[in-house]
Structure 1
Amino acid sequence: MDAIDEAIVQCVLRDARSTYAEIGRAAGLSAPAAKRRLDRLVADGTVRGFTALVDTQALGWRTEAFAEVYCKGNPTPAELRRDLEAVPEVVEAYTVSGAADAIVHLMALDIPHLERAIQRVREARVIERTESVIVLSGLINRPRV
């Protein structure tokens, strides 16, 4: 990955809806050249997709929980990711060391909504069971760099 690729990645990280002309300006390329470079970054897996980031607070989702996830068998992280991505209330998920296979961070409107979301997580084909805790108050939330 060279400086041009890095400029392209930075541009789409700032705004995944950037036009090829905008991406080209950021990387010092024409729009067609920016498209070719971005297509290559997608093809080689450097850019895995484009997404919308939704403010859960704007949706009114203020109920928060963490769930330890225990899997059936030995699924790959990609298999687990695929199943968890189907649950929009899952805002973060990590594979972890220890007894649990993963930790999942969920956001929901209220407790009934959270319960339905946890049930959908449990219904995923690779998941055997979960253990959940509901967040009472946030203490530290430092931005990641």
Structure 2
Amino acid sequence: MAIQGRRTRPGLDRLDREILAVLVRDGRATYLEVARRVRLSANAVADRVRRMRADGVIRGYRADLDRTAMGATLCALTDVRLREGVDGRGFETGLSALPQIAAAAHTTGEYDYQLRVVCADPPELESVVERLKKDHGVRELRSRLILREVELDPTRFLHV
């Protein structure tokens, strides 16, 4: 029986969600390490992981980088409104030319996109803003500096 307000993920049973929780916390865990934590054989874990990869549940494994340790101490959320007639797909493609854009989302509402911009300092942010306006069809921006990231349990949506 599902708890009110929570839906069971289609095609994922409790063991799949436990395996995913282990891999979200430690993407480098071996099948044997995962198997010990979820009380299955390593072969059964490997089969389940292969199925979840084939089903698109697991898209890949990534390193979790600390941007401040790499010198990007300023982080901003920037809402962007494009000029009339600017193609959104072209704008999205053009973002790859700006390494300071860490993430982008096409949004509803007053603005067209929200960008996560990481920079070393305010002058670098100013440079990114100017390039967005000059070279990428941006009409208007609104930026807010991130003071502190709020850590959330990355497995909370798995309902393990």
Taking structure 1 as the reference length, the TM-score comes to 0.69
- Amino acid in the other structure paired with 1:38: V
**Distance in 2 (alpha carbons) for counterparts of 1:70 and 1:3:** 43
Taking structure 2 as the reference length, the TM-score comes to 0.64
Question: Match for residue 133 of structure 1?
Answer: 143
Aligned length, in residue pairs:
136
Instruction: Indicate which of 39, 48, 58 corresponds to 1:47.
Output: 58
Q: Which runs of 5+ in 1 are unaligned?
A: none
Q: Where do residues 64-83 of structure 1 align in structure 2 (5 Å cutoff)? A: 64-70=75-81, 72-73=86-87, 75=89, 80=92
Cα deviation code 1:59-118 (max 9, x no counterpart):
12112222223464465xxxx5x8767865334443322132221121112345445656
Shift in CA distance, 3/117, structure 1 to aligned 2, threshold 3 Å: farther
1:30 Cα deviation after fit: 2.0
RMSD: 3.4
Question: Match for residue 151 of structure 2?
Answer: 143
Instruction: Indicate which of 23, 32, 53 corresponds to 2:43.
Output: 32
Instruction: Indicate which of 108, 114, 119 corresponds to 2:119.
Output: 108
Could you tell me whether the CA contact under 8 Å between 1:64 and 1:108 is conserved in 2? yes
Structure with bigger gyration radius: 2
Could you tell me whether the CA contact under 8 Å between 1:65 and 1:132 is conserved in 2? no
Shift in CA distance, 133/37, structure 1 to aligned 2, threshold 3 Å: same
Shift in CA distance, 89/41, structure 1 to aligned 2, threshold 3 Å: farther
Question: Structure 1 residue 10 and structure 2 residue 21: aligned?
Answer: yes
Q: Which runs of 5+ in 2 are unaligned?
A: 1-11, 154-160
- Determine helix, strand or coil for the equivalent of 2:78: strand
Question: Structure 1 residue 23 and structure 2 residue 31: aligned?
Answer: no
* RCO comparison, higher one (Cα < 8 Å, 6+): 2
